[in-house]
Structure formats: structure tokens, C-alpha cells
Amino acid sequence: MGKLTGKVAIVTGGGGGIGGAVSRLFAAEGASVVVADLPAREPGTPSSAEKVVDEIRAAGGAAVASHEIIGEWASGEKLVRTAVDAFGRLDAIVTPAGNLAVSPLVEVTEEEWDSINKVHMKGHASVLQAAARQFIAQGEGGSIVTFSSRAAFFAPAPAYSSAKAGVLGLTSAAAIELAPHGINVNAIFPSAQTPLFPGDAQSRPVAGGTPFVADIDPAAIAPIVVFLTSEEGAGITGRWVYAAGNDIAFYDVPLVLSNRPTLLRGSERWTLDGLDEVIPSLLGLRTE
């Protein structure tokens, strides 16, 4: 008996990289999996999703492939329907599918901007909406794991960065809305070698206080995803989670003032002179 025995999951981008690793571990832990990814480029050849499905079935698991285009609004509902038609229900949705553009602000084109936001933002939103409706109809809760990136805060790639920041806003909003239904929603910040990010570990930036990690195997991300969708993770929601190699970190709850000295309450409304006196010292820009 695995941690996900009897559960049904959809994994977008499930044919490779992190999505492929998640699909395989889900199946190994007893889940039936809808592996969603792009169709094959060459006619008559198996797609990446079909290859993963074949692996899962050869190991005794249950899986079906889907080639819905992430970023089309109707794709979310079609994916959920595939899961329900094939396996009778839906319990978890995991959304690592994505694309990449790294043009700086002064060079990014409208086409790049729209493409990135279509896949990441609309792709997440359409799948989350359809999954949430199914979870609510079933009345038994459910799990959603979205995928963001440290690039939301630490990369000069405005299209990708803003889309990944938008995923965090969507995650937080969905967690609040769906909590009364017993549905948990969490976001992963992964660091792994994938088709989108093929560089070696030495080329990875250390950002936001995360230490260097030599292990960038995408399979290292899959266990935390399984945990968050298992019974043990049912009480965890609205959290942002960093995962890479042997490292797991739960970020502090966003926009919560936990460090009292950063809250300045004056005896009256702040003036420009008053702010000039206190802000530089607060931010370490003035030491005298």
C-alpha cells in the first residue's frame, strides 16, 4: 500500500523533467495518473507522455496520456474529464508544465509576454478552476500543487518572473477560497535540471538565501509533491516550498509582519522629514 493508493492525479508537463518524475512516483505510490504533455513532434512516434505511461503500466501502475495544450482555457476541463472518465474521480493536480523566455525588460516582445503568461498563468488558472469544481462536487477535499520559481523575485526576466509571481498570487487566493472545502493548495519553488533548465549545478545562482546544491536531479522534487498530496500533508495549505536535491524549506508566510522592528508606528502621520530620518537606518543604508 503506497501513500497515494486509490487516488487519481493529473500531472501537467508529466512527460519529462520534474513532471515525469512526479508522474512515476505518484504511480509507484499507488495513484492512477493522467500524464499530460505535448503531442509528439514526429507523426507516428510516441509522445513523451505516452512513453511515461508505458513505463508506469510496465511497472504495474495505471496511467493514461493526454495531449491537451496547456494555456487553452478549455484544456483544464478536458483534463479533468479525462481523469474522471478513465478512473472515476480526481484527488490531486500538479502543474509543473511551463515555457521560458529570458529577454530583459527593454527587449521583451509582446509575443514573448503573451506566450509566457498564456502557459503559466492561464495554464494554471484553467486547470485549477476545473480541478476545484471537481473536488467540490466530490465533497472529499483534494490537493493542488502549483509550480513557481525563485525567478519571480531574483531574475531579470520580466515575462517569466511576473508569470511565476502571478502563480504565487493564484496559489494564495485559491488556498483561501478552497480551504472551507478541505482542499489544500501549495506552491513549489524547484531547482532541477530539466529541458527548460539544462545547465549543470555550478551554473545555478544562489538566490534568496538558498545554499548551493549539487544534486539537481528532478526526481528529488517528487517526494515533497507526493507528501503534500498525501493524507499526511492534508493540513498544509497556502505554503511556498523550496525543493532541490536534499534540501526542503518552507518559506515564511508572505506579507506577515513577524519582525516587529520593521513596523514603524509614529505618534502622528509620517512626514517626509520623518521618513528621511528613519527609513535609511531601518534598511541599513545609513549607519550613523
List of domains in the chain: 8-255 (3.40.50.720)
How far is CA 57 from each of CA 33, 34, 40, 96, rounded to the nearest angstrom? 10, 12, 19, 22
**What single string gives the DSSP state of each residue in 233-280?**
GTT--S-EEEEETTEEEEPPPTT----GGG----SS---HHHHHHHHH
Q: Which of 65, 27, 68 is nearest to 48 (CA)?
A: 65
Q: Which of 216, 125, 117 is nearest to 157 (CA)?
A: 117
Q: What pLDDT does 80 receive?
A: 98
**Average pLDDT of every residue of the chain:** 89
Q: What pLDDT does 156 receive?
A: 85
The Cα 29–Cα 267 span in angstroms is 58
Taking only the tens place, the pLDDT of each residue in 121-177 is 999 999 999 999 999 999 999 999 999 998 888 888 999 999 999 999 999 999 999
Q: What pLDDT does 262 receive?
A: 64
Q: What pLDDT does 107 receive?
A: 95
Taking only the tens place, the pLDDT of each residue in 13-69 is 999 999 999 999 999 999 999 999 999 888 889 999 999 999 999 999 999 999 998
Taking only the tens place, the pLDDT of each residue in 97-130 is 988 878 899 999 999 999 999 999 999 999 999 9
The secondary structure element, H or E, covering residue 183 is: strand 183-190
Q: What pLDDT does 201 receive?
A: 53
The secondary structure element, H or E, covering residue 162 is: helix 158-178
Catalytic residues: 160
Taking only the tens place, the pLDDT of each residue in 247-288 is 888 988 777 776 555 677 778 888 888 888 888 877 778 655
Q: What pLDDT does 269 receive?
A: 85
Range in 33-42, 149-158, 183-192, 206-215 the model is least confident about:
206-215
The model's pTM is: 0.90
Under the banding of pLDDT at 50, 70 and 90, the label for residue 196 is low
Q: What pLDDT does 266 receive?
A: 79
Q: What pLDDT does 197 receive?
A: 57
